[in-house]
């Protein structure tokens, strides 16, 4: 599935627009546009499954009394074109601190210099991964935590579904000597390639459109921010790619599906070291038995 973005337009009388805007930001839209009688929000298409859309409809139904005379809540989903993307979306992506030692900044802002924080500069293009989404953020926080325990400059990592390249670049910043970053979407790979160059990490990161099952070797850290369904489908390959004693970080999992994902990996081959849920999205840190 291409990693494009969708625009959601919701009919919203002024009495309901704040509640709707807050809800959509909480669900992962990096920002909203408030128009007369309408709220617009933006979501990466891989995140917009049937249950996600149902969740939004359920919320609108729960506040339908705010619509009073202005009819029923109406939703329109449209695929974002490049042009709309840059005009409506960019202004919501601002530099942000992540964890104890990272800062993610959009390419069109002055890069803030904060002592002790490593900067990752991202131009998302049409790819997913600005760090504003709860899943990306949780992955970055866990990567930071895990890399602190590893000998710097002496580990290899794998990023499955790299999108904008953000997690691969973070790994390079956090001391990986080699990072292999995969994506099945050529649009994402193009965006990632530009970001890798922008962050001068081309000596460390290799991008590839190969399937995970085709990748040889094993890695100290494997990170995969996909969906619960894709992760479960890839269980066998993901397991094989983690070296003994290494770490597997899994995200993009809606909370009700976390138990199913955990049961695929722990307790047989992995120990569940951490489970973080932010805004309904669960991220798992699994440590492979030695």
Return the range that interacts with ligand SAH (CB under 6 A); candidates 21-29, 83-91, 180-188, 258-266.
180-188
Is there binding between residue 282 and ligand SAH (CB under 6 A)?
no
Contact between 265 and 237 (Cβ < 8 Å): no
Is there binding between residue 167 and ligand SAH (CB under 6 A)?
yes
Is there binding between residue 222 and ligand SAH (CB under 6 A)?
no
Is there binding between residue 283 and ligand SAH (CB under 6 A)?
no
What the block records as the tokens of 266 is 């722990």
Is there binding between residue 261 and ligand SAH (CB under 6 A)?
no
Cα(240)–Cα(8) distance, integer angstroms: 39
Judged by CB under 6 A, the residue of 147, 195, 230, 283 near ligand SAH is 230
Binding mask 15-54 for ligand SAH (x = CB under 6 A): -------------------------------x--------
Return the range that interacts with ligand SAH (CB under 6 A); candidates 14-22, 224-232, 259-267, 282-290.
224-232
Is there binding between residue 182 and ligand SAH (CB under 6 A)?
yes
Q: E strands of 131-280, at which residues?
A: 156-160, 178-182, 205-208, 219-225, 242-254, 270-278
Cα(134)–Cα(153) distance, integer angstroms: 28
Centre a 10 Å sphere on the Cβ of residue 275 and count the other Cβ atoms it contains: 15
Give the residue among 124, 181, 129, 172 at the shortest CA–CA distance from 147: 172
Name which of 17 and 136 has its Cβ closer to ligand SAH: 136
Least distance in Å: CB of 113 to ligand SAH? Answer: 24
Least distance in Å: CB of 213 to ligand SAH? Answer: 9
Is there binding between residue 185 and ligand SAH (CB under 6 A)?
yes
Q: For residues 61-100, which are near ligand SAH according to CB under 6 A?
A: none
Rounded alpha-carbon distances, angstroms, from residue 236 to 68, 172, 254: 52, 26, 21
Name which of 19 and 229 has its Cβ closer to ligand SAH: 229
Least distance in Å: CB of 233 to ligand SAH? Answer: 8
Name which of 12 and 89 has its Cβ closer to ligand SAH: 89
Name which of 141 and 183 has its Cβ closer to ligand SAH: 183
Coil vs helix vs strand at 128: coil
Please give the radius of gyration of the chain, using alpha carbons only, rounded to the nearest integer.
19
Centre a 10 Å sphere on the Cβ of residue 74 and count the other Cβ atoms it contains: 12
Rounded alpha-carbon distances, angstroms, from residue 168 to 112, 159, 173, 174, 223: 21, 6, 9, 10, 9
Least distance in Å: CB of 204 to ligand SAH? Answer: 16
Dihedral of alpha carbons 82, 83, 84, 86, sign: positive
Residue ranges that bind ligand SAH, judged by CB under 6 A: 3, 46, 127-129, 135-136, 139, 160-163, 166-167, 182-185, 188, 212, 225-226, 230
């Amino acid at each position: 599935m291409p990693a494009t973005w969708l625009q959601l337009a919701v009919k919203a009388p002024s009495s309901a627009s704040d509640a709707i805007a807050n809800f959509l930001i909480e669900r992962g839209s990096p920002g909203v546009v408030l128009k007369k009688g309408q709220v617009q929000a933006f979501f990466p298409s891989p995140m917009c499954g049937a249950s996600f859309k149902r969740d939004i409809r359920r919320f609108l139904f729960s506040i339908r009394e705010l619509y009073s005379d202005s009819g029923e809540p109406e939703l329109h989903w449209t695929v974002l074109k490049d042009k709309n993307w840059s005009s409506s979306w960019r202004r919501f992506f601002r530099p942000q601190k992540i964890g104890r030692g990272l800062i993610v900044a959009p390419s069109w802002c002055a890069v803030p210099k904060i002592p002790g924080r490593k900067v990752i500069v991202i131009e998302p293009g049409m790819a997913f991964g600005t760090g504003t989404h709860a899943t990306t953020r949780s992955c970055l926080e866990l990567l930071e935590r895990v890399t602190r325990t590893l000998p710097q400059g002496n580990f290899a990592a794998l990023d499955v579904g790299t999108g904008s390249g953000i997690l691969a670049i973070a790994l390079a910043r956090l001391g990986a000597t080699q990072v292999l970053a995969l994506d099945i979407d050529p649009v994402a790979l193009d965006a990632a390639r530009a970001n890798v160059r922008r962050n001068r990490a081309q000596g460390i990161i290799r991008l590839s459109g190969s399937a995970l099952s085709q990748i040889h070797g094993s890695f100290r850290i494997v990170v995969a921010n996909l969906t619960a369904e894709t992760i479960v489908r890839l269980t066998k390959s993901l397991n094989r790619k983690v070296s003994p004693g290494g770490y597997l970080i899994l995200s993009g999992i809606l909370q009700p599906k976390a138990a199913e994902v955990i049961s695929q990996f722990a307790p047989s081959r992995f120990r569940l070291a951490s489970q973080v849920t932010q805004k309904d999205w669960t991220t798992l840190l699994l440590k492979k038995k030695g």
